[in-house]
Amino acid sequence: MTRSPNKLIPSDFTPVPALGTACDVEAVADFDATLDAVALLVAPGTDLVDTVGLGEEALAAAGFDASPGSSLVVARDGHPVVLVGLGDVADLDADKLRDAAAAAARATAKKGGRIGVEVPELGLDAATVGQVLAEGALLARYRYSVLKAEAKEVPLELLELKVAGADAAAVTAGIAVAEITVRATLVARDLANTPPGHLTATDIAEVAAELGAEYGFEVESFDKAQLIEMGCGGILGVNAGSAEEPRLVVLTYTPAGEVTGHLGLVGKGIMYDSGGISLKPSDPMHLLMKMDMGGAAAVLGAFTALRDLGTTAAVSGWLTCTDNMPSGSAYKLGDVLTCRNGKTVEIKNTDAEGRIAMMDGLALAVEAGVDAIVDIATLTGAALMALGKSRAAVLGNDQGMVDRVTAAAKATDEPVWQLPLERKYRKQLDSDVADISNLGGPHAGATTAALFLDEFVAGTPWAHIDIAGTMATDADDAWRSAGATGFGARLLATLAADFRS
């Protein structure tokens, strides 16, 4: 990767280090004797006398009740065994099993990088069991440590899955899917966790080109001069205060066989958001603004999965990438910017910049004639305030597309909640000097932001995912590791794999 000579960044630094850490995942009948630790997923009422020498009463006395996420370390012939609670099997589903696998992976983290996970007979589909066990364990053990001189955490090297009563071939098939979906999330996490000085708009364009060559999609990037020729006034306006060039990165996946539709994905790629002239306060949220490109990261991560998931739809992506900085040349309150489609926008707040950059991407998606558009963005604090950090907001002009997003969210445990696209609020975006302004009133900010984006999709079926709350977690939470979550990558990959026009 080309590096600025003014930055003290090693020439071999990569913004996607997780791709260089391979973990073998296998379905087995018996564990390898050289494993560092074994985790047993246990339901309440389980008697483990034959396994670890403890009955139900002894387990209860030790404080282990097999409730979801509970764990207990015991020894078996000098070999560490970790008991992890499943909760009531009657209530168990794929999401809870994924979370249990995540708990098992974390509980064994200090034991080493070669672990086994044993699961009782559960009555769930074997391929699903293999997939969610692998997803939970691999995602939970993720750590962004590439910039540490010495990492404290031991990465997973081998994960063996022993599933009672399950067809090994089906479990293996599920593992194969998990390796694809996990890769998508890890790419998104790595990119969002990378410091802004190590990952500029130019850099992410180069990363995209490398990933496209490896995972079967085409990449074209457009620099500042080209964006001027294209009339992309939104990206250029946000970029005006920056010393770094912007990039519009266009991703194109074409299936090998019959094309069953054309899906457009637009990702907000604000590489660092200072707020511009409307400067953010220096607080913990400002620190997280290196992750304001989490939408673009999710789209790029999803693209790495499309070929290997056998996606039959054509998928195009537009990553609108720039940072938002204050300077003597920065765009100002009262400025009017012109979108690619000719619509003019009055700037009432330079910190409502994501929607400004994205309007060009949405307009280009319409020009490409896609059957539907899904955009994803760390867009509004209002979504965070309304739904917290566990659930993203989804809004749209087409209930069918919103339903597709919701179904993919449910399948991947990347949950969303539909908010209304209340058109009565559209007048809050009126401008006296331009076609529209970039800021609504003090209330329903997630909805008014979506209403702004709706102006640029020209009636194309569209759904908008606001991941401002779900982009990061302060502490480990089930399969979500502390830091960037990569939320949306598996959701979008699943949505695209199932898309039909």
Catalytic center residues: 280, 355
Element spanning 197, H or E? none
DSSP, residue by residue, 147-195: T-SS-SSPPP-EEEEEETT--HHHHHHHHHHHHHHHHHHHHHHHHHHS-
* 109 Cα distance to chain centroid: 23
**Residues sharing a CB contact under 8 Å with residue 149, sequence separation 6 or more, in sequence order:** none
Please name the residue that has the structure tokens 């993720």.
Answer: 142
Contact 162, 175 (CB under 8 A): no
Cα(467)–Cα(185) distance, rounded to whole angstroms? Answer: 14
Backbone angles phi, psi at 337, to 5 degrees: -105, 150
CA distance 104 to 83: 8
Which positions ≥6 away from 320 have C-beta within 8 Å? Answer: 234, 235, 248, 266, 267, 268, 269, 296, 357, 358, 360, 361
Report the distance separating Cα 28 and Cα 130, nearest Å. 11
- In terms of Cα–Cα distance, which of 414, 350, 353 is closest to 379? 353
